Amino acid sequence: MFPSLLVNVHNLLDYFTLVLAGNGHNFRAHGPPGTGMRFFVTCDPANIRHIFTTNYTNFPKGAEFAAIFDIMGDNLFNVDGARALRPRVKIHTVLSSPRLVASMEACCRDKVVNNLLPLFCHMTSTNALFDMQELMSRFMFDLATTALFSVDPGLLSTDMPPMDIPVAMDTVMEVGFFRHMMPASCWKVMRWLNIGPERKLGAAHTVLRVFIAKMIERRNIDKVHVSNDEEQEGDTVRTTLTWIFYNLAQNPDIVATIRNELLPIALQKAPTGAGAMVIFEPEEIKSLVYLRATLYETLRLYPPAPLERKTVATKDIMPSGHKVHAGDTVFVSIYSMGRMRDVWGENCLDYNPHRWLSKDGNTLRYVPSHKFLSFNSGPRICPGKDIAVMQMKIIIATVLWNFDVEVLEGQSIRPKSSCILQMENGLIVKLKKRQA
């Protein structure tokens, strides 16, 4: 099985999906002799509930995970259990504060009005093609840095300055994916020799350490907060937005439904700001059900973190009947779970926001987190979920109402080999201003 994993490493998510679908949502794999690599791969909702909730203390991230993401240090991204409990409670309290939530919403709204819309107007006036994925990375980096440090790097400007920090962060996730699939001895030798992906990672680490040290010194902020939840939230938003724009371009009927949901709000507003745009306020779109359903449908098929890695602490029997042993590595394929007919029905591959709606269409249908894992589950459930969802709703509502987004035909759209579900070649689009 391991040779097959290596052969398919550049298409691993779809390979996992194919094998899982043919093996009852679970399979095992072993690494080369002498490496001690033992994998259990699953997308079974019952197993996921067991791993993340029922018996979560037996499935920590483990020491190997911390070694893979050594740049993160000893913070919440890498630790579990009692060491993580108090900081997570603290962060959850902070991120759920109405005052902070309102502040983050306002910050996002202002960034859209003052930077994103003027840039989009410039793009329409020049009829320019651009990479939506890169632009969303610029937007979220500016937004996160402004919120954390009160410093706007200005990446979202017409001259498109270099993206050293976001590119370095992406490198960490790409090489982290490579490390997941390789024997630790191999990538550690490559790191020692400073060759291959490890050479690229070393340069990225230098860029990130200089930036983080500068920002921490400037604001005297705890490094845990800098490198963990805000970064994960930014990854969720920028990655999901790219896949949303791609899928909406293929589904004009869904775009029309979203615009119909926005229409009663838009009719009460006079166009303002850059190029006489309609601006939607956070409170105005908070209760829009179909817009949220569209976000969730995107997250179902394109989860920002497509794989979750866990280590087995002591031997256990999974709800599926599979035995796992201490030291085994468990991969939970969130990407695959959204593509399982037994989980999501015969139309699981269809992009269909209506699957999230109640019969009357007025509310969202309840789906348990062990079936929809994009915001994690159990004790590690994402504390910034509501902020991330609102940021996406602000951006999508404002962009879709004011512009038509056209995806350049003939592109090769496929996931990058990374711990974050980015597009390998970006998403080249063109905008057209909608007529009032």
Q: Which residue has the tokens 């939607």?
A: 280
Q: Tell how many helices (H) and how many strands (E) occur in the chain.
A: 19, 9
Sign of CA dihedral 17, 18, 19, 20: positive
**In whole angstroms, how far apart are CA 176 and each of 62, 71, 412?**
15, 10, 24
Query: Phi, psi (5° rounding) for residue 366?
Result: -70, 130
Angle between helices 196-219 and 164-181 (to 10 degrees): 130
Burial environment of residue 136 by CB neighbours within 10 A (0 to 12, 13 to 18, 19 or more)? buried
Report how far residue 283's alpha carbon sits from residue 364's, in angstroms, rounded to the nearest whole number.
18
Longest dimension (CA), the chain: 69
∠265-271-275 over CA atoms, to 5°?
Answer: 140
- Asked if residue 107 belongs to a known ligand binding site, the reply is no
Q: Which residues are annotated as a binding site for heme?
A: 382
Q: Which residues are annotated as a binding site?
A: 382
